[in-house]
Amino acid sequence: MLPWTVVGGDPAGGPRAGELHTPHGVVRTPAFMPVGTAGTVKGVAAWELQRLAPEMVLANTYHLILRPGVDRIRRLGGLHRVMAWDGPILTDSGGYQVFSLAARRSLDEGGVTFRSHLDGSEHRLTPESAVETQAAFGVDVAMVLDECLPWPVEPGVVRPSMERSVRWAVRGLEAAGRVREAGSWGGGLFAIQQGSVDRDLRAECTALLAGHPFDGFAIGGLAVGEPPELLHEAIAFAAPLLPAERPRYLMGVGYPEDMLHAVACGVDLFDCVLPTRSARTGKVFTSRGDLVIKNARWADDPEPLDPDCPCPTCAHYSRAVLRHLFISREATSVVLLTVHNLTFFLNLMRSARDAIMTGRYASYRESVEAGRRAGP
Ligand SMILES: [Zn+2]
């Protein structure tokens, strides 16, 4: 199993700082993983990603299977070479996108058959092939194939879906064992807790998974449309259910206040498209709240996006110039806003880690939230 140590905070139920050792380096948590959907973090060249230095990046198996394809990635030397990134990479199993993006899909006990949203071609993903594909990419952390249900969902649907996801997780673990025995892969495999917003089902799911030697445990099936109060409530009961002795990853949750809440509940890892996708729509995250760069309010503003931000965008460009570039649809504006947003998200978690290590997480969270409420 991938070595994991809690180095600060509350190992069992509260905020904690940890170190996950992977084949491509140590992931210091809590950490935010930028999303590199199709083998690149959108808007960021590899050398800029190195400078931003995230602990780990995420890529999406579904997109990579369709384009450029598993065999081509293997021939090109693996996903690290494709991404020109030497640090740790985590991939999802492809399940989430199959259930949300694929043109058509049919689910059976063996796996899921789907049609590409790009060209309608038919593909099949099984619990075994999902793990073998991620291993072929050469990733540091792979995820098991699971079914991610929408919200709201009919109550009768959740239990059989959760139970199937558990059976799939165990099959994925067996497949990982075979790949590792063949000596072709040294990464870890995370299981995924499901159960929608039902505490008892999530507890049951965790109990079924926890007896198996997974490298980490994720919370799946949240942030799929439920209101924020319900999301926070679910994070608060779902996270402490997961085994304390392995890393905990909350999938797809990345709004700053949601992450701060989840860290308080003992979550170690996050990913979200929010900083990169928002940059493309002109939404900017700052220590004084969020702002929409195209608003006329910024047309003559000489201040940086965030006076407290150490990023090169804030060092070199004013809000007024960034607004001009954005409304002129200059490609550079997206690059500049992406670098700023990623800096904000990465530093939010780095500072959270520092605060945990020095025993002041609660006051750190309070001051970040107060600053963001104040507005830009
Ligand atoms: Zn900045």
Residue 249 is part of a domain; what is its CATH number?
A: 3.20.20.105
Q: Rounded distance, CA 170 to CA 205, Å?
A: 12
User: What distance in angstroms lies between residue 158's CA and the mean position of ligand 1's atoms?
Assistant: 42
Whether residue 11 is found in the same domain as residue 99: yes
Whether residue 90 is found in the same domain as residue 41: yes
Whether residue 191 is found in the same domain as residue 308: no
Look at residues 252, 272, 292 and tell me which one is the last residue of a structural domain: 272
Whether residue 19 is found in the same domain as residue 163: yes
User: What distance in angstroms lies between residue 146's CA and the mean position of ligand 1's atoms?
Assistant: 37
Whether residue 60 is found in the same domain as residue 97: yes
User: What distance in angstroms lies between residue 14's CA and the mean position of ligand 1's atoms?
Assistant: 30
Are 251 and 271 contacting, i.e. CB atoms less than 8 angstroms apart? yes
User: What distance in angstroms lies between residue 250's CA and the mean position of ligand 1's atoms?
Assistant: 26
Active site residue 354: no
User: What distance in angstroms lies between residue 303's CA and the mean position of ligand 1's atoms?
Assistant: 11
In this predicted structure, what is the pLDDT of residue 300? Answer: 98
Q: What are phi and psi of 185, to 5 degrees?
A: -155, 140
In this predicted structure, what is the pLDDT of residue 159? Answer: 97
Please give the tally of structural domains in the chain: 2
User: What distance in angstroms lies between residue 315's CA and the mean position of ligand 1's atoms?
Assistant: 7
Stated length of the chain: 376
CA dihedral for 321, 322, 325, 327, sign (positive or negative): negative
Whether residue 36 is found in the same domain as residue 96: yes
User: What distance in angstroms lies between residue 340's CA and the mean position of ligand 1's atoms?
Assistant: 4
Look at residues 245, 272, 299 and tell me which one is the last residue of a structural domain: 272
pTM for this entry: 0.98
Geometric angle at alpha carbon 57, from 161 and 352, rounded to 5°: 95
Task: Give the orientation angle of helix 274-281 with respect to helix 331-357, to 10 degrees.
Answer: 150
In this predicted structure, what is the pLDDT of residue 99? Answer: 87
Whether residue 341 is found in the same domain as residue 216: no
Range of the domain at 146: 4-272
- Residue 152 is given by DSSP the state S
Are 283 and 292 contacting, i.e. CB atoms less than 8 angstroms apart? yes
User: What distance in angstroms lies between residue 233's CA and the mean position of ligand 1's atoms?
Assistant: 32
**One pLDDT digit (tens) per residue for the chain, 376 residues:** 999 999 999 999 899 999 999 999 999 999 999 999 999 999 999 999 999 999 999 999 999 999 999 999 999 999 999 999 999 999 999 989 998 888 889 999 999 999 999 999 999 999 999 999 999 999 999 999 999 999 999 989 999 999 999 999 999 999 999 999 999 899 999 999 999 999 999 999 999 999 999 999 999 999 999 999 999 999 999 999 999 999 999 999 989 999 999 999 999 999 999 999 999 999 999 999 999 999 999 999 999 999 999 999 999 999 999 999 999 999 999 999 999 999 999 999 999 999 999 999 999 999 999 999 999 8
Active site residue 306: no
Look at residues 272, 297, 325 and tell me which one is the last residue of a structural domain: 272
Identified catalytic residue from 140, 258, 268, 271 = 271
Identified catalytic residue from 92, 198, 215, 258 = 92
Whether residue 135 is found in the same domain as residue 238: yes
Whether residue 193 is found in the same domain as residue 268: yes
| Interacting residues of 130 by C-beta distance below 8 A, sequence separation 6+ | 61, 93, 94, 95, 142, 143, 144, 145, 172
